[in-house]
Amino acid sequence: MTDSPARRRAPAMSTEQRRAMIVAAALPLVAEHGAAVTTSQIARAAGIGEGTVFRAFGDKDELLDACLIEAMNPDHVLRELASISLDEPLPDRLTQAAEALHAHLGRMGTVIGALHGTGHRRERGRGGREGGREGTREGDRPIPGGREASMKATREAVVELIEPDRPALRLEPEQIASVFLGMLFTRSQGPSPEELVDILLHGALKSRENAA
């Protein structure tokens, strides 16, 4: 008879991992309920005790701030942009980029709107706990430059998608990327991603043969 191997415990989460797990569970609830979400709801969604929430975050406001920061975190959409194949035609590349960025902006807007609509204000943003969390991501890791750095990284990712077609373009990829992002970020219920890319690449006028 052989001894059964000892059961191994799963490695304990680091504080940062636990915070990230709680934020991931909380985000859908925050998008739905805003600041009215309760820590007990979040704990149930994360499969943990409510006390664990308060060991990871000092209070509910700190958790809501972390959810807001994560909603604005560009890392997810940057990974999506990096996954777009450069072998595809330029219109297809830019359409996929527009769809990914539009979804990111939608998620961000939903969370921000839900929190603001239920009275949550980031009053600690400047000069609060640990000097505030302006320009930081969840886990207290700084994002150098905050929003400006996020925009720069996004623009560079779009430039990379345009770069293979540089010889065929009238403008530099950097200029086209800026126009593309400007059109995308200012559109409300405007053109679809496909229409936006078509206008960017071919203009709003019909062909000269059909314009008369």
If you ran DSSP here, which 8-state letter would residue 116 be given? Answer: H
Burial class (CB in 10 A: 0-12, 13-18, 19+), 100: buried
With H, G, I as helix, E, B as strand and everything else as coil, classify residue 175: helix
Identify the residue whose tokens are 């709003």: 204
Its pTM stands at 0.75
Q: Buried b vs exposed e over 168-181: b needs ≥16 C-beta within 10 Å?
A: eeeeebeebbeebb
Q: Which of 7-11, 101-105, 182-186 has the lowest mean pLDDT?
A: 7-11
| pLDDT per residue as tens digits for the range 23-37 | 999 999 999 999 999
CA atoms within a 13 Å half-sphere pointing along the CA-CB vector of 133: 22
